[in-house]
Amino acid sequence: MNAAVASMPIPATQRWWQRCEDRLDLLSPRLNPLRHLGSIAMLMFWVLLASGVYLYAAIDTSVSGAYASIDRLSREQWWLGGILRSVHRYAADLFVLCTLLHLLREWVLGRFRGFRRMTWWTGTALLPLLMVSAIGGFWLNWDQLGQYSAIATAEWLDWWPLFATPFMRNFLGVSSISDRLFSLFVFVHLGVPLLMLFGCWFHVRKLAQPIVWPPRALGGVMLSMLLLTALSAPVLSHAPADLARVPVLPAFDWLLLAVHPLVAATSATTVWLALLSMLLLLLALPLWPQRSPPAVAEVHARHCSGCRRCVADCPYDAITMTAHPQRPGFALAVVDADACASCGICVGSCPSSTPFRSMARLVTGIDMPQQPIDTLRRMLRERLQAMPPGHRRVVFGCDHGAPVGALEAADVATFSLICIGQLPPAFVEYALRDGADMVLVSGCPESGCAFRLGQRWAAARLAGERDPKLRAAVPASRWATVWAGADGLAQVAAALDTLQQRVAREKTAR
């Protein structure tokens, strides 16, 4: 627990990614899209749905009428229909880009194992649906781009001996395709996205309080970006489809349609094999053997009062309540070992974790066997006694944020927790009462918590906004928080200096 024995080493690639992410927190983590890729993708989904409803109302869903009805929007109603049409396309581009980055991020950060595997699998299942929705949208406009994409898709699908009549034969007519086929296009482009909406709900089902909206400011930036791109580079139709000619495509959407040129440059077999093996690899990733996973939270029935605070704070919905076996009428917390992230956030939420309890060995309602709360209290006491009076500085940090252990000194005691959410706020008051001159609490940046909600709960508890609260009577001048990533040691050191100066000023004033 002392930083010198930080529990889990974090792989270099993860550190590297976190460093990049931290550097891009130019104004605030709230404005950094890399920290909100999933929720930006969700926002794009709603934008697609809203603009899609308008387009659906405007489109003539027949082969002969579709082109003109959409083209008319861009020409005669650019200020609404035209903008919505462009927004619809750019939102799809942004959706795909954010989803792929989201996948890359979770992969690099190793977030596919154990308790996260179901989220990972459901995320993977969204990918084919996303591809079908994105490509199918181009067909509805039935211009040369739609024609090209539909034919390329048909040729690609015919690789599978699925259809008694090769799908491709629908596109051999001299004049055009049938209205029946066009209805199928419409059905695919309405049905598959709806399926995806259902899939998204499944995807975040294992998360407590899933963050499905980006922070308001960032959402505003993304929406303005869509509007600006729609105004500055409106999406227009190519020439109308003509099956007797090979399409000419001056404006090709590589973000959504890259698969077609890929098939043309290689072969249908190559691309099918590549995509399917990629999908299989993604599905298999969670099954990779792991170095022994860390111990999960453990409930001590005699010290659990059934208050449900751990249930409210657990970021992975891993805790449920059952009837207390010894105390009739009381409830008892139960941890689902498969869902538990071993983050310790529940320990910080449990009222029984307060160090002021008089027992010789502190036993709380819910604890982490690898870093029991009693050890934290014991080591804190030992270190406070060993430090020279008047020069006792205490720093609580976490294994995923700035490595506070590097600040360890004769007058600085550092403690690295699994997650800063593991810290019961009363420890700040306890340290101050037990002789510390000041206490600094450090953790990952906002929206950068390795366990989703730890930083948020820690900040809210210390600010007195969430139970268990740090008592308002604790002198605010003698403790501070600093939220800095793995690369933010200098920031933590600077915060400690600032706190030191504040405390010194106050002493002389008194």
Partner 1 sequence: MSMRPARWFGQILLYAAFATVIVVFSQWPPYRPLAPDQALLKISFLHHGQRLQACIEQTPEELAKLPPNMRAPTRCPRERAPVTIEVDLDGRPAYRETASPSGLSRDGAASVYRSIPVDAGAHRLQVRIRDSARDGGFDHQRDEVVQFAPLQVRVVDFSTEQGGITIQ
| Residue placing its CB nearer to partner 1 in the complex, 164 or 359 | 164
158 binds, among ligand SF4, ligand HEM, partner 1, none (CB under 5 to 8 A by kind): partner 1
53 binds partner 1 per the rule CB under 8 A: no
d(CA 241, CA 66): 11
Binding to ligand HEM (CB under 6 A): which residues in 59-98?
none
Residues 6+ apart with CB under 8 A from 120: 106, 111, 112, 282, 285, 286
| Residue placing its CB nearer to ligand SF4 in the complex, 153 or 349 | 349
The SS3 call for residue 81 is: helix
- State phi, psi for 76 to the nearest 5 degrees: -100, -10
Selected binder of ligand SF4 within 31, 59, 310, 362 (CB under 6 A): 310
365 binds ligand SF4 per the rule CB under 6 A: yes
18 binds ligand HEM per the rule CB under 6 A: no
316 binds ligand SF4 per the rule CB under 6 A: yes
Integer Rg of the chain from CA:
28
| Residue placing its CB nearer to partner 1 in the complex, 166 or 306 | 166
The window from 12-20, 80-88, 307-315, 397-405 that contacts ligand SF4 (CB under 6 A) reads 307-315
d(CA 343, CA 349): 12
| Residue placing its CB nearer to ligand HEM in the complex, 209 or 305 | 209
| Residue placing its CB nearer to partner 1 in the complex, 135 or 417 | 135
261 binds, among ligand SF4, ligand HEM, partner 1, none (CB under 5 to 8 A by kind): partner 1
d(CA 37, CA 509): 48
The window from 198-206, 216-224, 387-395, 431-439 that contacts ligand HEM (CB under 6 A) reads 198-206
| Residue placing its CB nearer to ligand HEM in the complex, 204 or 474 | 204
Selected binder of ligand HEM within 58, 211, 255, 363 (CB under 6 A): 211
d(CA 507, CA 160): 79
31 binds, among ligand HEM, ligand SF4, partner 1, none (CB under 5 to 8 A by kind): partner 1
| Residue placing its CB nearer to ligand SF4 in the complex, 190 or 321 | 321
Task: Convert residues 70-109 into a mask of x (bound to partner 1 by CB under 8 A) and - (unbound).
Answer: -------------------xx--xx--x------------
CB 436 within 8 A of CB 411: no
265 binds partner 1 per the rule CB under 8 A: no
Binding to ligand SF4 (CB under 6 A): which residues in 332-351?
333, 335, 340-346, 349-351
Give the shortest CB-105-to-ligand HEM separation in angstroms. Answer: 9
286 binds, among partner 1, ligand HEM, ligand SF4, none (CB under 5 to 8 A by kind): none
345 binds, among ligand SF4, ligand HEM, partner 1, none (CB under 5 to 8 A by kind): ligand SF4
**Which 8-state DSSP code applies to residue 240?**
B
d(CA 433, CA 427): 10
Chain residue whose CB lies nearest ligand HEM: 123
Selected binder of ligand SF4 within 3, 152, 222, 366 (CB under 6 A): 366
- Look up tokens 């960032």; give the residue: 218
- State phi, psi for 229 to the nearest 5 degrees: -65, -35
Nearest C-alpha neighbor of 377 from the set 333, 433, 419, 421: 433
- Look up tokens 């298999």; give the residue: 284
Binding-site size for ligand HEM (CB under 6 A) equals 27
Handedness of CA 354, 360, 365, 367 (dihedral sign): positive
CB 424 within 8 A of CB 350: yes
**Which 8-state DSSP code applies to residue 327?**
S
| Residue placing its CB nearer to partner 1 in the complex, 245 or 433 | 245
CB 177 within 8 A of CB 170: yes
| Residue placing its CB nearer to ligand HEM in the complex, 436 or 453 | 453
- Look at the chain and count its residues: 510
DSSP β-ladder status, 393-398 and 366-367? unpaired
400 binds ligand HEM per the rule CB under 6 A: no
d(CA 46, CA 196): 12
**Which 8-state DSSP code applies to residue 320?**
E
41 binds ligand HEM per the rule CB under 6 A: yes
d(CA 392, CA 276): 59
What tokens does 267 get?
């072969």
DSSP per position, 262-273? HHHHS-HHHHHH
Residue ranges binding partner 1 (CB under 8 A): 24, 26-27, 31, 33, 89-90, 93-94, 97, 148, 152, 155, 158, 164-166, 168-169, 172, 174, 221, 225, 228-229, 232-233, 235, 243-256, 261, 264
